[in-house]
Amino acid sequence: MILFRDQPLYSSSLESIQSRIAQACSISGRQACDVTLLAVSKRQPVDAIKALHKLGLTEFGESYAGEGAEKIELLADSHLTWHFIGPLQSNKTGIVAKHYDWMQSLDRPKIAQRLDRQRPATMAPLNVLIQVNIDAEAQKSGLLPEQLEAFAETVAVLPAVVLRGLMAIPRTGKPEKLQRQSFAAMRLLYEQLQAGHKGIDTLSMGMSDDLEAAIIEGSTMIRVGTALFGPRPAPAE
């Protein structure tokens, strides 16, 4: 049986994250409202999402297309905004195209083209972010920086998707100085993308352990999971 955290615990977790956001924004001369908090709800129960929504959160991220689609349907009346943030196999693109508002981990032309074809005409274009492998980690998804512009040109002409910016997951466990170097490199790529394409307004980078460094270097969206929800329940056997 899953035991849900009570409302005061969620409230305390959210206040802690909001305080960290505000402090990082103060350091960098920004307003806290300039940074969107995306609650990473993968493997979290619907009741937990409802609890955070009651506290004011409206943006939620899922890494498993089917699991997320079920939650989206169950919570349709809540009018939440849903982001797909994990690796996407080509046989799951239809799920993302038909259910989600954002796709943050785009890094292959084939996936972009399938999302474009499968997005229902009755829905607004799918917002997409290109994932950049900023630290060139062999095991990690994402484009290398030198591949970005050519891929952006490919995405920009697709009618049923709209390019909004970049996403990155830099190498974890680095000292803050090195964290900031990776995030600063992402900010530069983001500014270059803005210079060449209209509508670029989202730089998604920073998680529980490095959100301060990300915000100081220009992140407009941070992705936080366990620091909000607590530990993820184990997958069902």
Gap between the Cα atoms of 146 and 132, Å rounded: 10
Q: How does pLDDT run across 105-161, given as a tens digit for each residue?
A: 999 999 999 999 999 999 999 999 999 999 999 889 999 999 999 999 999 999 999
CA 142 to chain centre: 14
Question: What are residue 82's DSSP bridge partners?
Answer: 60
Confidence of residue 175 (pLDDT cuts 50, 70, 90): confident
pLDDT above 60 (res 1): no
Q: Is 222 helix (H, G, I), strand (E, B) or coil?
A: strand
Q: Which pTM does this prediction carry?
A: 0.94
Q: How does pLDDT run across 35-60, given as a tens digit for each residue?
A: 999 999 999 999 999 999 999 999 99
**Domain chopping of the chain, boundaries:** 7-229
What is the CATH topology of the domain spanning 7-229? Answer: TIM Barrel (3.20.20)
Gap between the Cα atoms of 53 and 78, Å rounded: 8
